Amino acid sequence: MPHIATLPLLLKQLKLSTMARHWEALLPQAREKGWNGAEYLAVLCEQELAERYSRRIARYAKESQLPAGKSLATFDFTQIPDVLQGQIEALAGTGDWTRQTRNLLLFGPSGVGKTHLAVAIGHALVEQGVRVRCFATTALVQQLQLAREQLRLEDALQKLDKYRVVILDDFGYVKKSEQETQVLFELIAHRYETGSLIVTSNQPFAEWDRIFPDQMMTVAAVDRLIHHASIIEIGGDSYRRKEALRQAAGHPTSTTSAPATTTLAGPPPPIHDSGPRQPPPT
Ligand code: ADP
Ligand code: MG
């Protein structure tokens, strides 16, 4: 007969911490339900796996640096066309496009919800076990710039490889020095076919030659970004301004009538694949 007394120790050595915590409490239930040894073991293993999974998701959520509260459920989809809602829910509903290292580009004027949507899609992907990291583009550029000065840019770029999705919020918002632009370009080149980028920008491609110092670099960067990319353009007025006007007029804050779900029924959205593309309208 094996010694049950050693079981906690064995489980600990095997790093089966959930089993170690639950095996004893599960015994009466097993007896009551008439489980045989294999059934009891199967239930314990399921618990171990389920807990590992939820711990992993919690870890991914923390490391993602995604701001809380910006989810699909808190996004008022009445503000944007239905077709965009479908596209966004599809992107949030499956991480398949990230496995294919596709990119997502969100364009539109300030305040229309680009950051909110990028973050919401990020949260939805994390819940599906996708590792995501969200950056203000300028902050990441500064970080990479510093790494380059210390001759460890390649290292810094490789560190990002563990994230299947890197969000670059407000791409091109701040005028950069030539050196900063260079690291931005290297980042795009590095991510190309190694991982996905979600980029938000209020500058359409036509103005990207203001971001990069020369035409060649602009074309090369845009080429890499739009090769296998979904491009979503959000028009309209700033949501912030609309809210302020509504409140000033004495109307309550608008709420989403039906909370949007992060699950999807339909196929993934159409992907604009490669090739030169008309710049989105300003
Ligand atoms: P952008 O990145 O396009 O400048 P943000 O995503 O930062 O805009 O949106 C500005 C503010 O308005 C944020 O607080 C955001 O949560 C909110 N917001 C924008 N659009 C919507 C929307 N359709 N539903 C709910 N909140 C929105
Ligand atoms: Mg923004």
> Residue-wise pLDDT tens for the chain (282 aa)?
678 899 999 999 999 999 999 999 999 999 999 999 999 999 999 999 999 999 999 999 999 999 999 999 999 999 899 999 999 999 999 999 999 999 999 999 999 999 999 999 999 999 999 999 999 999 999 999 999 999 999 999 999 999 999 999 999 765 667 778 889 999 999 999 899 999 999 988 778 877 787 788 888 889 999 999 999 999 888 887 778 787 877 765 544 333 333 333 333 333 344 433 344 444
Q: Report CA-CA distances (Å) from 192 to 45, 90, 98, 221.
A: 39, 22, 12, 10
Q: Locate tokens 């949007």: which residue?
A: 260
Give the number of the atom of ligand 1 that is nearest the alpha carbon of residue 117.
6
User: Distance between CA atoms of 128 and 138, rounded to whole angstroms?
Assistant: 28
In a 10 Å sphere around its CB, with 0-12 CB exposed, 13-18 middle and 19+ buried, how is residue 72 labelled?
A: buried
User: Distance between CA atoms of 136 and 203, rounded to whole angstroms?
Assistant: 15
User: Distance between CA atoms of 132 and 260, rounded to whole angstroms?
Assistant: 21
CATH class of the region 66-264: alpha beta
The structure tokens listed for 9 are 């120790």
- Taking alpha carbons only, the member of 245, 235, 278, 222 closest to residue 110 is 235
Q: Degrees (nearest 5) of the Cα angle 197, 208, 103?
A: 15
Kindly list the domain boundaries of the chain, sorted by start residue: 4-61, 66-264
Contact 167, 130 (CB under 8 A): no
Residue 173 has a CB neighbour count (10 Å cut-off) of: 16
In this predicted structure, what is the pLDDT of residue 255? 43
In this predicted structure, what is the pLDDT of residue 269? 39
Ligand 1 centroid to Cα of residue 124, in Å, is 17
In this predicted structure, what is the pLDDT of residue 174? 56
Phi and psi, residue 50, nearest 5°: -60, -40
The structure tokens listed for 197 are 């980028």
User: Distance between CA atoms of 121 and 232, rounded to whole angstroms?
Assistant: 13
In this predicted structure, what is the pLDDT of residue 175? 62
Give the number of the atom of ligand 1 that is nearest the alpha carbon of residue 116.
6
Query: Which residue from 88, 116, 117 has its CB within 8 A of the most atoms of ligand 1, so it is best to mutate?
Result: 116
Question: Does residue 200's CB lie within 6 angstroms of at least one atom of ligand 1?
Answer: yes
